[in-house]
């Protein structure tokens, strides 16, 4: 009998690849039958290494109802995985873990009125899934996706996502009515030129959503970006009275680091 490990990654076929910049690309994989996940979760994926699989955590960037799985990745020229993964082509095989996990999920949040999704760089990926989840629109009156990058070219993927969501046959009407997309750039010319933290501190963010400020009684916040970004935003929302939620104890905000390598 061959020794088959039921937890071993499955081998999935690359269905599409799109390079956005020299440092960013998106790709789709076949979805194994029986692969279930909640919008906002991540999964281990990667390539076979010399001795064992080389896997990294990637947020699923497609909606739970889609029959393929989308991902969005940075390219790190000396990164053990992404230096190779950036060269994948349609028809290639990529290893996919079996167990999606994560805290950036609706289940970890209490009901509210406005849902803020705060992202930098590839941290926008889990929101690609969430902004096409009907439950997001059923649970919230307003959905605000904020995406900040160093350069304007790095915002292109987010614009594509929002466009896709607003034109989607299933969620398009809800997204068009409730989804707000706010973008800023920190190292180039752009109408909004501040970090997310600054946009919140100065109140500039709220000018785009009808005024006010954060209110833990009715606002919920999801945060995804680099380690430094998630730490700073966690401190900022905690100072405003928000409590961190988890799957077992839902509350006002949740965090996920976006992963690189
Ligand atoms: P900045 O250009 O001022 O460093 P990175 O690629 O380093 O993760 O950065 C992506 C975006 O996140 C950049 O716009 C960057 O701004 C911003 N950023 C980096 N660190 C933080 C932080 N601690 N808080 C808020 N935004 C951050």
User: Does ligand 1 lie within 6 Å of residue 168's CB atom?
Assistant: no
219-231: average pLDDT: 96
Q: How far apart are CA 9 and CA 52, in angstroms?
A: 11
pTM: 0.96
Residue 261 has pLDDT above 70, yes or no: no
Residue 192 has pLDDT above 80, yes or no: yes
User: Does ligand 1 lie within 6 Å of residue 148's CB atom?
Assistant: yes
CB of 157 closer than 8 Å to CB of 26: yes
pLDDT at 7: 82
Q: Which atom of ligand 1 is nearest to the CA of 233?
A: 24
* CATH class of the region 106-255: alpha beta
Q: Which atom of ligand 1 is nearest to the CA of 185?
A: 14
CB of 116 closer than 8 Å to CB of 222: yes
pLDDT at 214: 95
Structure tokens at 89: 């082509």
Superfamily of domain 10-96: Translation factors (2.40.30.10)
Alpha carbon of 185 to ligand 1 centroid (Å): 9
Alpha carbon of 255 to ligand 1 centroid (Å): 16
Q: How far apart are CA 193 and CA 148, in angstroms?
A: 9
pLDDT at 208: 87
> Band of the pLDDT at 212, cuts 50, 70, 90?
confident
Can you say whether the dihedral through the CA atoms of 48, 50, 56, 61 is positive or negative?
negative
> Band of the pLDDT at 237, cuts 50, 70, 90?
very high
Domain boundaries, the chain: 10-96, 106-255
pLDDT at 132: 97
Q: How far apart are CA 23 and CA 210, in angstroms?
A: 35
Residue nearest to ligand 1 atom 12, measured at CA: 120
Residue 3 has pLDDT above 90, yes or no: no
Alpha carbon of 120 to ligand 1 centroid (Å): 7
Mutation choice for ligand 1 from 22, 24, 82, 150, CB with most ligand atoms inside 8 A: 150
Phi, psi of 48 (to 5 degrees): -70, 130
User: Does ligand 1 lie within 6 Å of residue 258's CB atom?
Assistant: no
The rounded mean pLDDT for the chain is: 95
6-20: average pLDDT: 94
Q: What are 18-71's pLDDT values in tens digits?
A: 999 999 999 999 999 999 999 999 999 999 998 999 999 999 999 999 999 999
pLDDT over 90 percentage in the chain: 92
CB of 256 closer than 8 Å to CB of 226: no
Q: Do strands 114-120 and 142-149 pair parallel, antiparallel, or not at all (unpaired)?
A: parallel
């Amino acid at each position: 009998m061959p020794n088959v490990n039921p937890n071993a990654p499955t081998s999935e076929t690359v269905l599409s690849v799109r390079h956005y910049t020299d440092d960013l690309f998106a790709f789709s994989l076949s979805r194994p039958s029986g692969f279930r996940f909640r919008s906002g979760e991540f999964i281990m994926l990667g390539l076979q290494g010399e001795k064992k699989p080389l896997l990294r955590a990637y947020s699923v960037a497609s909606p739970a109802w889609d029959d393929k799985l989308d991902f969005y990745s940075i390219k790190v020229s000396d990164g053990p995985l992404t230096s190779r993964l950036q060269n994948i082509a349609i028809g290639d095989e990529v290893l996919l873990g079996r167990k999606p996990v994560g805290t950036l999920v609706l289940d970890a949040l209490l009901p509210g009125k406005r849902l803020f999704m705060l992202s930098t760089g590839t941290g926008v990926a889990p929101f690609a899934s969430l902004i096409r989840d009907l439950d997001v629109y059923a649970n919230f009156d307003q959905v605000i996706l904020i995406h900040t990058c160093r350069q304007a070219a790095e915002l292109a993927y987010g614009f594509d996502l929002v466009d896709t969501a607003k034109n989607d046959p299933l969620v398009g009407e809800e997204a068009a009515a409730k989804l707000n997309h706010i973008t800023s750039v920190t190292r180039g010319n752009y109408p909004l030129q501040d970090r997310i933290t600054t946009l919140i501190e100065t109140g500039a963010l709220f000018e785009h959503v009808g005024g006010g400020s954060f209110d833990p009684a009715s606002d919920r916040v999801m945060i995804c970006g680099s380690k430094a970004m998630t730490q700073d935003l966690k401190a900022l929302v905690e100072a405003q009275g928000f409590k961190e939620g988890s799957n077992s104890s839902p509350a006002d905000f949740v965090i996920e680091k976006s992963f690189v390598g």
